[in-house]
Amino acid sequence: MPGSQAATEWAFPNPATPPGSSAYYSVRFAPAGLRDDLAVLLGWRHLVRSVFDEVSDRGVATRKLEWWSNELERIVAGTGRHPLGLPLGRLIARAELPRQPFLDIIRGTEALLADRRVEDVAGLAALGDLDLGALCELIARVHAASAPAGLSAARRAGSYCALVELVRDSGRMLRRDRCGFLPEDRLQRNGISHTGHEPTEIRKHLSPLLADLAEDLDRHRADLSHDLPRLPATIRIRVRLADRLLAELAASDFEVADQRIALTPIRKLWNAWRESRLNRAPRGKSCF
């Protein structure tokens, strides 16, 4: 039956949570009853972000994002056309998930697609909030979070993870002539600018620029220390893996202009396993 096939296709693991990925290990150590639901949420983000990652024509990509925005309305109404629509629609209804985080993920992808300029680190953090920040809010809600403090902490954790991923992918982004995500104030501090330099020129200065930016990411990470232990393991694992990835990037002196640096699957597994058994919120002190 079509419904059963869709549920199986987007159950865990699925194209958004392939074995060996950070997404896979973050879901693998979640409660068994939530894994398929979390995989469906990651599936939404994967499909929307694939428009930016895989479609080279900006006009076509824009139309695809418009389609996904309309598809969200159809999914909520129970008339979704994509195979993901059936399990996602059921999850939205069952967990009473709001539409805004889904729309935020589309908005964040639109910003990358349009190469909108980010003026400062606060703007970069806001861009991350529209990506993994929104996704982590949804993840927290699936874990029955409802308190504003808990949802805010989840979004800040996701934003941090998104920023680390942007640092990792910055070389690839520049090779695609996308440089708007690099904060203008940090560019100027390193003697370059969006207006005066092409992406190919910015690539030559990328390593010191990212080293400078990493200091801001460290401060962003420090702000999470108080609330992080109270977040679900799924989110904590993503933060821990982002920490390890950022350390790996720093060890390479942020030489990402022509290469993609990543953690090995065994390191992801080890760190995910460790985090799943640490930092559990004391009973009665959850921020949810």
Six-digit token string for 194: 């969006």
For residue 43, the one-letter residue type is G
pLDDT value of position 4 = 53
pLDDT string in tens for the chain (288-residue length):
355 555 678 999 999 999 999 999 999 999 999 999 999 999 999 999 999 999 989 999 999 999 999 999 999 999 999 999 999 999 999 999 999 999 999 999 999 999 999 999 999 999 999 999 999 999 999 999 999 999 999 999 999 999 999 999 999 999 988 899 999 999 998 888 888 888 888 888 899 999 999 999 999 999 999 999 999 999 999 999 999 999 999 999 999 999 999 999 999 999 999 999 985 544 444 445
What is the spatial distance between Cα 118 and Cα 182, in angstroms, rounded to a whole number?
A: 6
- Reference 97, options 157, 43, 140; nearest CA is 140
Task: Name the H helices within the chain.
Answer: 2-9, 22-28, 35-54, 58-77, 85-95, 100-114, 121-128, 134-142, 148-175, 184-189, 199-204, 206-222, 233-251, 265-276
For residue 22, the one-letter residue type is S
Six-digit token string for 140: 């927290």
Domain boundaries, the chain: 2-276
Under CATH, what is the fold of the domain 2-276?
Farnesyl Diphosphate Synthase (1.10.600)
pLDDT value of position 164 = 97
Burial 147-163 (b: 16+ CB within 10 A, else e): eeebbebbbbbbbbbbb
pLDDT value of position 283 = 41
pLDDT value of position 279 = 52
What is the spatial distance between Cα 85 and Cα 58, in angstroms, rounded to a whole number?
A: 25
